[in-house]
Amino acid sequence: MKGLLDLLILPATEVTLCFAGSLSPALDSAVVGETGLGKSTLMDTLFNTKFEGDPASHSQPGVQLTSSTYDLQESNVNLKLTIVSTVGFGDQINKEDSYKPIVEFIDAQFEAYLQEELKIKRVLHNYHDTRIHACLYFIAPTGHSLKSLDLVTMKKLDSKVNIIPIIAKSDAISKSELTKFKIKITSELVSNGVQIYQFPTDDESVAEINGTMNMFSSGMASPGTAPQSEPQHSVPAVTLMPVLYWLISPDTVVGRISQAHLPFAVVGSTEELKIGNKMMKARQYPWGTVQVENEAHCDFVKLREMLIRVNMEDLREQTHTRHYELYRRCKLEEMGFKDTDPDSKPFSLQETYEAKRNEFLGELQKKEEAMRQMFVQRVKEKEAELKEAEKELHEKFDRLKKLHQDEKKKLEDKKKSLDDEVNAFKQRKTAAELLQSQGQQAGGSQTLKRDKERKKSSGRYCMAVAGVPHARDWCDRIQPLIRVWDLGCLQCLCQAPEALQLLKSNQL
């Protein structure tokens, strides 16, 4: 098997992935870290592939997880790679709940696998397993210590996924600062009880290379002290449980951590520069060149070897046997399934199911009775409310009815008064018309009488104006104007001295 695995990793300029035969593995990895630490660049460099994706900004309102699956192929080698990115992680002012979307996503993948596993007809051999096998946790190269966000997040994730801590952009600090930074990170992980992934050493084929990763040397003490002269000795694989380190003095822990490879200090780059006679991935700076695949410059080669070549299968196995089993056990215990009864006797699945079913039915009956009582109580309350509302409506109807009757009576009285006025007006109108008609008749008869008298008196003029020129014409004109047809009046008028004088002077 080791011969096949040796083909998995070759220099990035030749072949990125290599598997033999029909072996088609899958690797699901989560990339966790703050924005701007070079996560996408490192993944591109790690698999020698340009993955699609837009650069993330620092203005995300919350943490969003995006999952992308790629089918990598090189000759006869296939790899189904899934990369889960944590967009916006650490960009918020309040970072208290930044880890929750990641935990919920991992639990959702476990739940999906559990539901598939509990089906009557399972197809696990063709099931696309989306459980996260490895979590590459990127640490900012501050050179001081871990941030509270990093400690809290890794503590929440260590029981759910294989955590591999990585110091991103390790070329930003010097070698001595990097060594101290690694010691500080490891000691903080130990003191806070954070369990990171430990490379297995039980398989002889990988025990040596994994042993160098998990082995701590006491040949170098803490910074500032001279190397000790006692020979180096190996320490069993550490699971980073604090209880184990309580048995070791702090100075010894610092001395053993100083030579550790974890966390990996890496540098990523997709640019190739010509170094000597070869094109190599590197980063060019004014002060020099950092070669990605040069182990003297960074731990990129060690990370790639541990992640892809040596321990990919163990990562998958640890995910299934440790993290998923823990989730499955807790989930089934929440559902009420147990392996033993209170007397420590084994329970069969059927007995557990029957006990759970009876318990569920009992709770269901209690809830049903409680709901029935609640329903009856609410019905009574609703009936009381409806009766009160009905009473109010009746009272309102009676008030409106009385008001309507009063208004109707007022209108009828007003209508009667108006009818009386109209009748009185009609009577007065009739009387006026009658009087007018009688007056018209009397006036007509008087007019006829006057006309007759005028005709009779036609040609009779006042003797006083008989000698006045045009006196007759004057009398004919003035009679219609003064509407006097009595010649006696004209005679009196003509007898007036002034009138006579005017008539004589012909001015009238």
Residue 244 CB partners (closer than 8 Å, separation 6+): 238
Q: Reduce the DSSP state of residue 251 to 3 states and report it.
A: helix
φ, ψ at 135 (rounded to 5°): -120, 110
User: For 26-201+257-335, which CATH class?
Assistant: alpha beta
- Cα angle 346-351-355, degrees, rounded to a multiple of 5: 115
User: From first to last of its 508 residues, what are the pLDDT tens digits of the chain?
Assistant: 333 333 333 333 333 333 333 346 788 999 999 888 888 888 888 888 888 777 777 777 888 888 888 888 877 778 888 999 998 898 888 888 899 999 999 999 999 999 888 888 888 778 888 999 999 999 999 888 899 999 999 999 999 999 999 999 988 888 889 889 989 998 999 999 999 888 888 877 777 777 777 634 333 333 333 333 333 333 333 333 333 333 344 444 444 444 457 789 999 888 888 888 888 888 888 888 888 888 888 888 888 888 888 888 899 999 999 999 999 999 888 877 776 666 666 666 677 777 778 888 999 999 999 999 999 999 999 999 999 999 999 999 999 999 999 999 999 999 999 999 999 999 998 988 888 888 888 877 777 777 676 655 554 455 555 555 555 566 666 655 544 444 444 554 555 555 556 555 654 4
- Compute the Cα dihedral for 456, 458, 463, 465 and give only its sign: positive
The predicted pLDDT at position 341 comes to 64
On whether the CB atoms of residues 268 and 41 are closer than 8 A, the answer is yes
Residue given tokens 């990598």 in the structure block? 72
Instruction: Tell me what pLDDT residue 260 has.
Output: 55
Distance, CA of 491 to chain centre: 119
Could you tell me whether strands 163-167 and 264-265 are parallel, antiparallel, or unpaired per DSSP bridges? parallel
Sheet of 64-74: strand order equals: 64-74, 77-87, 26-32, 134-139, 163-167, 264-265
Query: What contacts 479, CB < 8 A, 6 or more positions away?
Result: 454, 485, 490
Nearest Cα to 465, choosing from 439, 438, 497? 497
Cβ neighbours for 2, distance < 8 A, ≥ 6 positions apart: 205, 206
Q: Which pLDDT value is given to residue 237?
A: 35
pLDDT score recorded for residue 506: 55
What is the per-residue pLDDT for 221?
Answer: 32
* Degrees, nearest 5: CA angle 163-164-170: 140
Cα separation, 202 vs 7, whole angstroms: 22
pLDDT of residue 358: 87
| CB hemisphere CA count around 382 (13 angstroms) | 6
326 to each of 1, 322, 329, 334, 410, how far by Cα in Å?
A: 29, 6, 5, 12, 88
> Quick one: which of 50, 32, 33 has its CA closest to 41?
50
CB 64 within 8 A of CB 10: no
Picking from 238, 309, 305, the residue whose alpha carbon sits closest to that of residue 266 is 305
Rounded to whole angstroms, the Cα distance separating 216 from 237 reads: 9
